[in-house]
Homo-oligomer: A and B are copies of this chain.
Amino acid sequence: MRDLEKLGDAAVAALAAAGVERLLPDAASPYLLIAEHAGNIVPAPWRDLGLAEPYLGTHFAVDVGVDALTRRLSQTLRAPAVIARYSRLFLDYNRPADEWDFMRPDLGGIPVPGNLAVDAADARLRKLVAWAPVERAIIEAAAGRRALISVHSFTPVMGGVKRNVDIGVLWREQSPFVNSVLKTLRTQGAEAGFRIGDNEPYDWRQAVGYTLNRHGLQQGRPCLYLEVRNDLLADPETFERISRLLENAFATVAMSLWPQSAAAV
């Protein structure tokens, strides 16, 4: 894009600073919450990537409901959180840079004009503005944590198929943490009337990830992707019930696995 060449260093630094939010960075929780898809902002110089506004409210642009859910869990668990504010369409922090959907050229066939032919200078600028600040924030916040929870949401129907779970726990390597979360959430979830998915609605072992590959698995740090059906989060009462379920379950797990941690919950 033409305008990008005019961006000075100060403007780039300001865009980078606006791309990430850190919640409770000094909290002593064993957990770090990460929300890579919480935001739907496209930095102004990129002009919404040429998309009409309604597209920026879809799951292609943002994990609907995750911003509010992550803030809630951070507050109640007193856990630090890293929230990426730029749309996954601008740059998908949770994809390796060489994946086709790192800067996704289409929404299931609907072209994204600004992503059809991203040149090297544009890609470099997006990494500076969107990738680097999130990377730095996660590295800083993850130091010393016992486990990472990456918070996501999914659509209730995909390709005509209704997904038959409400909350999914996606994992790649088993660990006491993963096992404990699954066991606890299954029990407490059943009581609360929610269906818990074990590597559902999709299986992390068959899917590409980035954040938790890099900051979790490769660091030997237990981790999981938490996936919540986004239409459930849109209803205030159900949002409240799901939040309570999740905070109770993660508190239970922390007390069980790390009882010595004074700041477990």
Contact = CB atoms under 8 A, between A and B. Distances in A.
A107 B108 contact: yes
How big is chain A's contact interface, by range?
Answer: 20 to 34
B101 A158 contact: no
A193 interface: no
Each complex incorporates copies of this chain amounting to: 2
A169 to B, nearest CB: 21
Interface string A109-131: 11100001000000000000000
A106 B54 contact: no
Contacts of A156: 111
Interface stretch (A55-63, A76-84, A177-185, A250-258): A55-63
Contacts of A231: 111
A111 B54 contact: no
Nearest to A107: B108
A158 B106 contact: yes
Contacts of A44: none
Interface of A: 52-55, 58-60, 100-101, 104-111, 116, 155-161, 231
